[in-house]
Chain A
Amino acid sequence: QSALTQPRSVSGSPGQSVTISCTGTSSDVGGYNYVSWYQQHPGKAPKLMIYDVSKRPSGVPDRFSGSKSGNTASLTISGLQAEDEADYYCCSYAGSYTFGVFGGGTKLTVL
């Protein structure tokens, strides 16, 4: 069982918006503003899309946004494009002992 809970799958049509949730506890998501999101295409390495809850690395489209409320973080992708179809993973800092905990991943299908 993964430490953070994500929906197994979400879907949307091109141009629509989708939101992926990531639920943890006060020991991880709720306790720190260090939630990150990764996109992974089949057979490829993960790519950082969002860090520190809502910051975007250089080169990541502004269609990707992040937020957090309590113990749940969210990734929203607006203006869906075919190339957004991938697996998405959240990750949270969980203190110096546990360090990093990932979600189980969400498969995004662009219909």
Chain B
Amino acid sequence: QVQLVESGGGLVKPGGSLRLSCAASGFTFSDYYMSWIRQAPGKGLEWVSYISSSSSYTNYADSVKGRFTISRDNAKNSLYLQMNSLRAEDTAVYYCAREVAAAATFDYWGQGTLVTVSS
């Protein structure tokens, strides 16, 4: 069955960096677009970034553009999110999600990893 397992979250100071990972299994990872979506404590969902199946296309929400970088390694069935210049407002649970047809439709989600930005 499809499984997505995030890791790499934790406590980081403002201005710091963190790299999230998402290990995928149960499907042909290289066939799918993937996204990162976040949820601040007690708040709603916010799409963060997507990457195409072959890494040819990426896109970012304005709130993270220039600070976050999405990447993937299809040989390792893994998705990554490099987060730099972190701010308090980046505090959230970060989910990786599999996309359906690159149409902002997410059919499988991981359990999430919590990123806390605080001094």
Contacts and interface: CB of A to CB of B under 8 A. Distances in A.
- Interface residue SS majority, chain B: strand
A48 B107 contact: yes
B80 interface: no
Contact of A102 (B45, B95, B109): B45
Given A51-B100, A99-B50, A100-B104, A45 B45 contact: no
A102 B61 CA distance: 12
A100 B103 CA distance: 8
Contacts of A94: 104
Contacts of A69: none
Interface residues of B, number: 20
A46 B95 contact: yes
Interface residues of A, number: 26
A57 B107 contact: yes
B105 A36 contact: yes
Contacts of B89: none
B35 interface: yes
Interface of A: 2, 32, 34, 36, 38, 45-48, 51-52, 57, 89, 91-94, 96-97, 99-105
